[in-house]
Amino acid sequence: MTTPRLRKVTQLRRNQPSQDGAGVKIRRIHEFGGGIDPFLMLDELGSDRPDDYLAGFPPHPHRGIQTLTYVLHGGLTHEDHLGHSSTIAAGDAQWMHTGRGIIHSEMPLTDSQGLHAFQLWLNLAADDKLSPATYRDVRGDEMPRLAREGAELIALGGRWQAADGETVEGPLDALAGRGAVAHVRLDAERHLSLTVEAPTLLVYVFAGELEIAGERVASGQMASLSAGERLELSGLSGAGEALLLAGYPHGEPIAHYGPFVMNTQAELEQALLDYRNGTFIDG
């Protein structure tokens, strides 16, 4: 029997302050050069000051990607040209397959702890870039969990397997690049061992700090992991929380302009033309 290879930290990226929408303050990690393929960008929205985010994200277009939004505190109300209108709150997620094109808005809500949420962009393969747009909400109580003493994994999407073989499947089963997304919590000096074979594996620590294969990763850092099959996470002096992102690279060229992600410059120019001439969301 082959011993599973330990996945080690190969690169650390720190989030950077930015803003989007109508001046919403965010912290962003992005790599549109294919370095985190099939993922493109991760935004963290978090503030106890409503002025930092309540202006929200008025109607805007997308083409060529999927987005996954996950809320820890507060909420977001979504509306789009397809007629979807819904609100997600703490623990919920929403997934949007933009395909050929979608025009939507996202307006933040607050609770006693303000707003804390994430939005992940996943790149669509070339064959799916012009597919029909779809949308889905997922409530927190629909997400299965792997629980160990002082450790918990919440599966938003994809398949997650503990080293002892226990497996859970997140409700979002159509993430681009065979993607898988999970939220992990670890108490101090507790451990979680997972089997993850997907070539791309990212760990974004957003609270406290975690040890990954013996390396300390602080809040606000995203770790890229080496090839292998075994992921070892440990809590340090305090509790730590992270998003786990796993997927299979498309290995295709990426052409990006604002809300559009295609494969060539010509396709980007066509997206802009379609948006300007009113054919952007036509079937």
DSSP 39-59: EEEEEEEEES-GGGTTT-EEE
Amino acid letter, residue 230 = R
Closest CA to 187 of 144, 145, 147: 147
- Interval 7-20 mean pLDDT: 94
Q: Which of 47-61, 81-95, 146-160 has the lowest mean pLDDT?
A: 47-61
Q: Is 116 annotated as a binding residue?
A: no
pTM for the predicted model, two decimal places: 0.95
pLDDT of 283 over the 60 cut:
no
Cis peptide leading into 38, omega within 30 of 0?
yes
Share of the chain above pLDDT 70, in %: 98
pLDDT in tens, 26-84: 899 999 999 999 999 999 998 777 777 777 788 899 999 999 999 999 999 999 998 88
The response to whether 250 counts as a known ligand-binding position is: no
Q: What is the mean pLDDT of the chain?
A: 94
pLDDT-derived band at 1, boundaries 50, 70, 90: low
- pLDDT computed for residue 57 by the predictor: 82
Taking only the tens place, the pLDDT of each residue in 237-253 is 888 999 999 999 999 99
Query: What pLDDT is stored for residue 279 in this prediction?
Result: 86
Residue 22 has pLDDT above 80, yes or no: no
| 73 labelled ligand-binding | no
> Is 84 marked within a binding site?
no
Tokens of 11: 């690169």
Q: How confident is the model at residue 91 (pLDDT cuts 50, 70, 90)?
A: very high
Q: Which tokens is 225 given?
A: 């992991």
Does residue 13 carry a pLDDT above 70?
Answer: yes
Closest by Cα among 183, 168, 170 to 233: 183
Structure tokens at 106: 């996202």
Helical (H) or strand (E) element with 273: helix 265-277
Q: Give the position of tokens 């083409």.
A: 63
Please give the C-alpha separations between residue 263 and each of 39, 123, 133, 216, 250, in angstroms, as whole numbers: 14, 10, 18, 36, 11
